[in-house]
Every structure is written in structure tokens, then in C-alpha cells.
Amino acid sequence: MTTTPSLQIGQKVPSFSLETTNNQTVSEKDLTGHYTVIYFYPKDNTPGCTTEGQDFTQAYPNFEAENTVIYGVSKDSIKKHENFKSKFDFPFELISDPDETLCNIFDVIKLKKNYGREYMGIERSTFLINPEGELIQEWRKVKVPNHVKEVLEAVQNVKN
């Protein structure tokens, strides 16, 4: 089985187009002109994913002050995303990636183990894109506590 090489630091995000909450569509063109944080999470309404979304929500004004747009991504449907977003009042859009388009670009589908069961799923990961649409930093196998603070510091450091 051949796999496409994932996006590397310094490379532009390739072309894609996916549906987001609020009846919007996002493509690689929407990742230019500002910094962008794209965070991948396994599933809506699960404890870690909820905490991560709430952490990004709490830090949202700080990201806005740094001209940074945030997108959360999972394979959940738009309907589930809309419910998740409104339930926790997330100020950013969630991208639905049921066909793993963006997941494959960023190579976040990994073999996971849960209660002795193995399956392919999203490995919690975050990516920072510069205003030219290039990947400049990545966090893989993310642990939720303090992660958002780390991402915000990275945005602030890259701009200074």
C-alpha cells in the first residue's frame, strides 16, 4: 500500500474544499492572509475533545488579537458539529471531514487502541499555517492540558 507523503513543514497546504458549520465551505484559499490553527480531534462531545474546544474558546480573543483563525476538524457530520458547536458556544467553525480529505493531507489517521480493540482513527493533532498558506509548526499526539496555551505562545513567538 502506498501512502501519499503528508504535508511537511514549509510546504503549502494543497487544494481541498470541505463543509464547515454555519453553512460555509473552507478551502486552502481561506488559509491565507492570516495565521491559521487547524486542530484535529477524534469525536464531538467526548471529554477530551470538549475540553480542547473549550480551551480554544477561552483563548479565542488572544488568537484573534494575533490575526489567527481557528478550525476544529473531525470526521463527524455537519449536524453533529452544529450541535457540538452550539452546545459549548465555540466561536470558531468546525470542519466536517467524513472522507478523511484533510485528515490525509495532514496524516492524522493512525492505528489506535481502545480497550484492546484496534481501529483507525484521528490522532489528536494541531497545525499552524502562516499567512502564505504554508505549514510552519505541528503538534502530534497532543495531550489536552496546556496545549492551547502552547499553540498561542507559538503564534505569538512566530510573529515577533
Contact 44, 72 (CB under 8 A): no
**Whether pLDDT at 1 is above 90:** no
Using CA atoms, how far apart are residues 126 and 24, in angstroms rounded to an integer? 21
Amino acid making up residue 125: S
103 belongs to the catalytic site: no
- Please say if the pLDDT value at position 3 is more than 60: no
Q: Which three cell numbers stand for residue 48?
A: 477530551
Stated pTM of the model: 0.93
**For the residues 85-93, what does the mean pLDDT come to?**
97
Strand intervals (E) in 87-160: 93-96, 109-114, 117-122, 125-129, 135-139
| Structure confidence by residue, pLDDT tens digits, 19-46 | 999 999 999 999 999 999 999 999 999 9
Domain ranges of the chain: 33-155
Q: How far is the C-alpha of 123 from the C-alpha of 42, rounded, in Å?
A: 7
pLDDT above 50: residue 106:
yes
Q: Which position among 49, 94, 102, 135 bears the catalytic label? A: 49
pLDDT bracket for residue 116 (50, 70, 90): confident
**Distance of alpha carbon 113 from alpha carbon 120, whole angstroms:** 9
Query: Does 3.40.50.850 match the CATH number of domain 33-155?
Result: no
